[in-house]
């Protein structure tokens, strides 16, 4: 069974648990019921939440290899590959990553592209 993130309705704790693919509910250590946090529609876990944020805005219908690879497995390595494929410069080792709450220029550029695509549709 794959791992999923759950959020407890009672105490707000977010935790990982193995669950069946169709399980929508989990049980928190406090005894409360927990809802499964929906990722990007796949049964994978990204390396980090910010990668899921990126995966949510990439072109899902693109057949380009760097997009398919990243959507299949949103790892940091595939994120770098995707950025290169999009003409974005990946962060170098030791370079500060944009804050998860946003504000980084790369993140802003990705969102701008996402907004532009939606505007065309």
- Kindly list the distances between the CA atom of residue 121 and the CA atoms of 7, 35, 55, 114, in Å, as whole numbers in the listed order: 34, 32, 19, 11
Q: How many CA atoms lie within 13 A of 92 on its CB side?
A: 0
User: Judged by CB, which is closer to Zn ion: 14, or 56?
Assistant: 14
Does 30 interact with Zn ion (rule: CB under 5 A)? yes
Stretch of 21-29, 63-71, 86-94, 102-110 contacting Zn ion, by CB under 5 A: 21-29
Applying CB under 5 A, which of residues 7, 17, 23, 32 lies at the interface with Zn ion? 32
* Partner residues linked to 6 by β-bridges: 15, 36
Please enumerate, as own/partner, the contacts of 51-57 that have beta carbons within 8 Å and a separation of 24 or more: 51/75, 51/76, 51/79, 53/100, 54/79, 54/82, 54/110, 57/110, 57/111, 57/113, 57/114
Q: Smallest distance from the beta carbon of 26 to Zn ion, in angstroms? A: 10
Of the candidate spans 32-40, 49-57, 74-82, 89-97, the one that interacts with Zn ion by CB under 5 A turns out to be: 32-40
Q: Which of 10, 14, 56, 72 binds Zn ion (CB under 5 A)?
A: 10
Give the range of 18-26, 27-35, 51-59, 85-93 binding Zn ion by CB under 5 A. 27-35
> Which positions touch Zn ion (CB under 5 A)?
8, 10-11, 13, 28, 30, 32
């Amino acid at each position: 069974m794959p791992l999923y993130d759950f959020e407890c309705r009672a105490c707000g704790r977010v935790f990982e648990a193995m669950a069946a693919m169709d399980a929508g509910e989990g049980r928190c250590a406090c005894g409360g019921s927990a809802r499964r946090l929906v990722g990007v529609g796949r049964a994978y876990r990204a390396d980090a939440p910010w990668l899921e944020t990126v995966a949510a805005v990439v072109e899902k219908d693109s057949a380009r290899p760097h997009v398919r690879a990243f959507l299949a497995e949103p790892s940091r390595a595939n994120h770098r590959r995707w950025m290169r494929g999009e003409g974005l410069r990946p962060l170098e080792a030791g370079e500060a990553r944009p804050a998860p709450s946003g504000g980084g220029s790369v993140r802003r550029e990705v969102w701008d592209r996402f907004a532009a695509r939606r505007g065309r549709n």
